[in-house]
Amino acid sequence: MTKNYHYAIICSICCFLLLSSSIFAEQLWPLKGTIDLSDGFGEFRQGHFHTGTDLRTGGRIGKKVYSPENGYLYRIKMSYYGSGKALYIKGDDGFIYVFYHLAKFNNEIEEMVLDSQFTDQRYYQDMYFEKDAVRIKKGDLVAFSGKTGIGAPHLHFEKRTADNIPINILTHGYKLDDNISPVFKKIFFKQVDDHSLFENHQREISFELKHT
């Protein structure tokens, strides 16, 4: 074999190792320490499905929230209701990372929000940022967990496609050990259009499941 052939093989192996390490590497959780979920992706809520994964914060406000990926600040939303203080990061990996119910942002972001609130003379904000205007590195402190908007203290965390479609983080880069099998107790059927009804003209029915 020629030297050039050996060189080509070595380069190919190195490229494969670099690509595989980036593709299959487990992603960084936004909270440090033990990760404990309180609510999962796709759970039914009143009138909608849960589009994120809720991470427990031990009933505390102020846990540090870190960026899972390199990227840039994409959006900031401030509201008394719903998502509360919300932060959106567009990752260099093509995904959007979303955090709800925050207590506050890091100093740089907090100052930008306060300036905008002062200018508009109102609390509510929905701020979009130009690409790379505010760069964020993987592992950077971006915010602190809270309970703004609704509910007890926790961190609502989402991963979305570039088209803003929420996806399940546990099947897209994040992993947790789960040794407890689910127990199905009840099954629901719900009308999805106006052309069908269940018995007695009901729009939804449910059945208790018996385990034998």
Q: Which residue has the tokens 């007695």?
A: 200
Alpha carbon 65 to its chain's center = 12
More confident residue, 147 or 48: 147
Q: Each residue of 164-183: pLDDT tens digit? A: 999 999 889 998 877 778 88
The phi and psi torsions of 112 (rounded to 5 degrees) equal -65, -40
pLDDT score for 183? 86
CA distance 73 to 147: 21
DSSP character string of 109-121 = HHHHHHHHHHHHT
Number of other residues whose CB lies within 10 A of the CB of residue 117: 15
pLDDT-derived band at 188, boundaries 50, 70, 90: confident
- Report the pLDDT value the prediction gives residue 22, as an integer from 0 to 100: 44
Which pLDDT value is given to residue 23? 47
Higher-scoring residue by pLDDT: 81, 3: 81
Cβ contacts of 144 within 8 Å, gap of 6 or more:
61, 62, 63, 64, 65, 102, 103, 104, 105
Select the more confidently predicted residue: 200 or 87: 87
Report whether pLDDT(103) > 70. Answer: yes
Q: Is the pLDDT of residue 11 over 60?
A: no
Q: Which two tokens stand for residue 72?
A: 């840039």
Is the pTM higher than 0.95? The answer reads no
> DSSP for the chain?
--HHHHHHHHHHHHHHHHHHHHHHPPPPPSS-S---EEE-TT-EETTEE--SEEEE-TT-S--EEE-SSSEEEEEEEE-SSTT-EEEEEEETTS-EEEEEEEEEE-HHHHHHHHHHHHHHTSS-EEEE--TTSSEE-TT-EEEEEB--SSSSSEEEEEEE-TTS-EE-GGGTT------------EEEEE--STT---GGG-SEEEEE----
Q: What is the mean pLDDT of residues 36-61?
A: 86
Partners of 76 in the beta sheet? 87, 127
**What is the arithmetic mean of pLDDT over 7-36?**
65
pLDDT at position 40 is 82
C-alpha of 23 from chain center: 19
Q: Could you tell me which CATH number the domain at 25-179 has?
A: 2.70.70.10
For the chain, give every domain's residue range.
25-179
**Which has the closest alpha carbon to 117: 77, 89, 162?**
77
Least confident of 11-20, 55-64, 121-130: 11-20
Least confident span in 56-60, 103-107, 108-112, 182-186: 182-186
116-153 pLDDT, tens digit per residue, is: 999 999 999 999 999 999 999 999 999 999 999 988 99
